[in-house]
Amino acid sequence: MSDFDYDLFVIGGGSGGVRAARVAAGETGAKVGLAEMDRYGGTCVIRGCVPKKLMVFASEYAGMPAEARSYGWDVADGVFDWTAFRGKLDAELDRLEGVYRKLLSGSGVDSFDARARLKDAHTVELSTGEVKTAKHILIASGGRPVRPDMPNADLGMVSDDLFHMERLPKSILIIGGGYIACEFACILHGLGVEVTQYYRGAQILRGFDEEARGLIADAMKERGIDLHTGTNIVEMQRACDADKELEAAPVEAMQYGGDDHVGPSDGAIRVKATNGKIREFDAVLFATGRAPNTADMGLEEAGVTLGRGGAIEVDEYSQSKVPSVYAIGDVTNRVNLTPVAIREGMAFVETVFKGNPTLVDHELIPSAVFTQPEMGTIGLTEEAAAEQEEIEVYCTSFRPMQTAFADKPDRVLMKLIVSKASRKVLGCHIVAPGAGEMIQLAGIAIKMGATKEDFDRTVAVHPTMSEEMVTMRNPTRTA
């Protein structure tokens, strides 16, 4: 008989934790417990990928009536109903959470709706007062969006808050230039919100291919997003509070004149930027980073090492410095993508419960940014590839048939980075409608080590945007 209550106790009911728990219980017969302090499904299902993608779909309908009219359809512009959409969105998230709970119970996993923290290397203490022991503990507590350390930061929202808005703001300032900031800038603009975006860097989407992110920035501006790079906020406060201060010192009011001051409106937030401009917005969204959920979990006291930003340090098998404690997903801050967390969870079960040491390959992972247009990417950027070896760049940018016929300015980008020595495709970057779907398939070939000549031998599907991936015969440039 085991000396522990469980063979495995999982902290976190997101995609990675749930997969590991149910596979360990269902396929190996392990006795498994799992604690989740919030909703089952985690960031991806409840406050990330899934609701965000549904909002992307909703936002894309904004331009369809005008495009349809270009194709001869008598279609009138409509009005977006946030209340109706949010009601259906909430119902879908409830359904998905129910699926996750059912998967756990169906596999024989004991679920606890409670916050868990480590008491020692084999003991978990729940917020309900219960104490559980386990031979192995898997931490899959994920991450959370963070606010900057500045006065009145609580006036701004973070990405989690967007899914709970009672109504859409008329105007919003989004602070940040990463994929979350850019995706929500496009989403909210498509839903009819006046969107302004500040990013302190020289160009949005840092870390992605320079040419691709430049095209997306241009497209966002073309659509009407007021994007300001090299810009950050200095201070923020409620407009009504600021006005009271101005009344006490009326001379200061001079700085608010002209086009630099927008407003006022009830409950507006007044923001001063590094460029000196002062504006008011109905809402402010901070999309300036995420942090692992490791605070007050008793980890360091139990001997678990935390790295930069509070991430749990693990080896290639997801094992921490404490042999009985493992961690997967965003809490380790390796590759923060849901499919990666799921693979890490599966590899953990193979390694620990099936006696089959299994590594997760974190190289050449395809990903997508759901801006408008989308970006799909895998492998090295042109800049990174050129630093390591001589390369050829095959690239084309054009207006696709569908948008050109409708006389829209939207352009797409197809780009391959090729090693001169091996001829292998080192990177692929697509900016186009449906780029996320395209990069999944291109990713298979690139993961297999396809060469540029393999792409060339593939017959094109005509007429499509993606045929350009196999018809670019001559390099655009070398580096």
Residues belonging to the active site: 462
Pairing of strands 131-139, 283-286: unpaired
The one-letter amino acid at 402: Q
Rounded to the nearest angstrom, the gap between the alpha carbon of residue 238 and the centroid of all alpha carbons in its chain is 29
Burial degree of 406 (CB within 10 A; 0-12, 13-18, 19+): middle
Q: Is 181 annotated as a binding residue?
A: yes
Pairing of strands 412-419, 391-398: antiparallel
Tell me the C-alpha distance between 234 and 198, whole Å.
12
3-state secondary structure of 334: coil
Q: Is 142 annotated as a binding residue?
A: no
- Find out whether 25 and 32 touch, Cβ atoms under 8 Å: yes
Q: Is 38 annotated as a binding residue?
A: no
Q: Is 183 annotated as a binding residue?
A: yes
Rounded to the nearest angstrom, the gap between the alpha carbon of residue 453 and the centroid of all alpha carbons in its chain is 34
| Sign of the CA dihedral running 265, 266, 269, 270 | positive
Tell me the C-alpha distance between 187 and 174, whole Å.
12
Q: Is 258 annotated as a binding residue?
A: no
Tell me the C-alpha distance between 187 and 61, whole Å.
11
The one-letter amino acid at 105: S
Q: Is 41 annotated as a binding residue?
A: no
- Print burial letters for 114-153: b (CB count within 10 Å at least 16), e (below 16): ebbbbebebbbbbeeeeebbbbbbbbbbbbbbeeeeeeeb
Tell me the C-alpha distance between 299 and 118, whole Å.
6
- Find out whether 265 and 240 touch, Cβ atoms under 8 Å: no
Q: Is 303 annotated as a binding residue?
A: no
Tokens 């939207």 belong to 410
Q: Is 421 annotated as a binding residue?
A: no
Tell me the C-alpha distance between 341 and 13, whole Å.
12
Pairing of strands 110-112, 116-120: unpaired
Q: Which one-letter DSSP state was computed for residue 474?
A: S
417: left (phi over 0), alpha (psi -120 to 50) or beta: beta
Tell me the C-alpha distance between 53 and 1, whole Å.
47
**DSSP labels, 163-184:** TT-SS--SEEEEE--SHHHHHH
- Find out whether 431 and 215 touch, Cβ atoms under 8 Å: yes
- Find out whether 39 and 97 touch, Cβ atoms under 8 Å: yes
Q: Is 49 annotated as a binding residue?
A: no
Tell me the C-alpha distance between 127 and 114, whole Å.
6
Q: Which two tokens stand for residue 353?
A: 């419960």
Tell me the binding residues for FAD.
53, 330
Tell me the binding residues for NAD(+).
176-183, 289
Tell me the binding residues.
53, 176-183, 289, 330
